[in-house]
Amino acid sequence: MALGASSVVLFQALLAVLISKYIFSHPYVKSVFLKTGIAILILMFIYFLLSANRKKNQQNIKKRTGTKSFFTGILVSSLNIFPIPYFVLISTLLSNNFEIKFSIMNDIFFAISAALGTLTTLYLYVIFIMKIDGKTELFKRYSNYFMAALMLVLIIITIARLYNM
């Protein structure tokens, strides 16, 4: 599953670099994206707050291996579009703050690095989860509150960026 997800991240990162070149060369488009981002972050903040207050049922997860797992990783990662805005931000920060000029070679290198980082992170998650199996009650209880707080911080930062343009 991690290999499938990482292969999708490769294409998402490449797409994000191309999008960032366009967005940040047009100030009006940048402003519209920031306003849209604020609305999405507010919706996510509300969702995580509501999810934190809801009772959770224990679910058993089946272990999968093989090609079915690879295609499941591709499907799940394809449905997750959040990495694209994240990679747009990262590529923009690299090009603006560090004066990196994104050529085709740098774009491909950035995408491969993102995919390898995703693969490494997913495997580390598996190792970590296997070590803490059965000790996750505290995490389950407060994870949605943490995500809601994170969304609130991102909302504040985005509003500050929007009005300091």
Q: Break the chain into its structural domains and give their ranges.
A: 2-163
CA distance 2 to 12: 15
CA distance 139 to 51: 14
pLDDT tens for residues 79-131? 666 677 777 766 766 665 566 677 788 888 888 888 898 888 888 877 877 77
Q: Enter the pTM of the model.
A: 0.58
Strongest mean pLDDT among 12-26, 44-58, 69-83, 91-105: 12-26
pLDDT for 16 equals 83
Mean pLDDT of the chain: 76
DSSP H stretches of helix in 24-59: 27-53
| Residue 52, burial from CB neighbour count under 10 angstroms (0-12, 13-18, 19+) | middle
Please, what is the Cα angle at 39 between 34 and 44, to 5 degrees? 120
- Among 152, 150, 145, smallest CA distance to 38 is for 152
123 within 8 A of 25, measured Cβ to Cβ:
no
CA distance 165 to 23: 14
H or E element: which one contains 81? Answer: none
Distance of CA 55 to the CA centre of its chain: 26
pLDDT: is 63 or 137 the higher one?
137
